[in-house]
Every structure is written in C-alpha cells, then in structure tokens.
Amino acid sequence: MKNIKVLGSGCKNCETTANLIQIAAKQAGTEIELEKITDIAVIMGYGVMSTPGVVIDGQVVHAGGLPGPDKIRQWVSE
C-alpha cells in the first residue's frame, strides 16, 4: 500500500489533486492511504514552497500546480 500525502491549504487545486489521485488509484486497482496535510509547518518541513505538493512514501514527487493525468497514473502504478 502506498502512503500518499497531498500538501496544501485546502485550495481548489489541492482538493482536485487529491481527487485525481483517488480516481487513478481506483482505476489502477492500487491500494493507497491518502492524507491531506494543511499544516504549513509540516508542509515547509518537506521543503515544499508552492502547493499542491505530493509526497509518496516519504518522497516529494511534485510541487506547485495540478499534476498531469499521466504523471498521476505513473505514481499509483509504480
């Protein structure tokens, strides 16, 4: 099971990113644990300066703007 964190203030892009990850994981048949992190101190602890940020199994894989669908599918299928 992958642990995926979406880092952000809860803005529209952050919510959309979380929803797209859930949809892609379901389509791929991949079990994920999805967390939404809104605490600025925690987000800064990952070194993310622009949101949404995405952390998979402790590694930052994206920061700033909506990730593309191909990138999201790659994350959940790896």
Residue-range definition of the domain harbouring residue 35: 2-77
Alpha-helix residue ranges (DSSP H) falling in 1-78: 12-28, 40-45, 69-77
The string of pLDDT tens digits covering residues 2-59 is 999 999 998 999 999 999 999 999 999 999 999 999 999 999 999 999 999 999 999 9
Number of folded domains that form the chain: 1
Active site residue 14: yes
As to burial, measured by CB atoms within 10 angstroms (0-12 exposed, 13-18 middle, 19+ buried), residue 24 is buried
Band of the pLDDT at 67, cuts 50, 70, 90? very high
CATH of the domain at 11: 3.40.30.10
How high is the pLDDT of residue 10? 87
Name the catalytic one among 4, 7, 14, 48.
14
Name the catalytic one among 9, 10, 11, 45.
11
Query: pTM, whole model, 2 decimals?
Result: 0.94
Band of the pLDDT at 78, cuts 50, 70, 90? confident
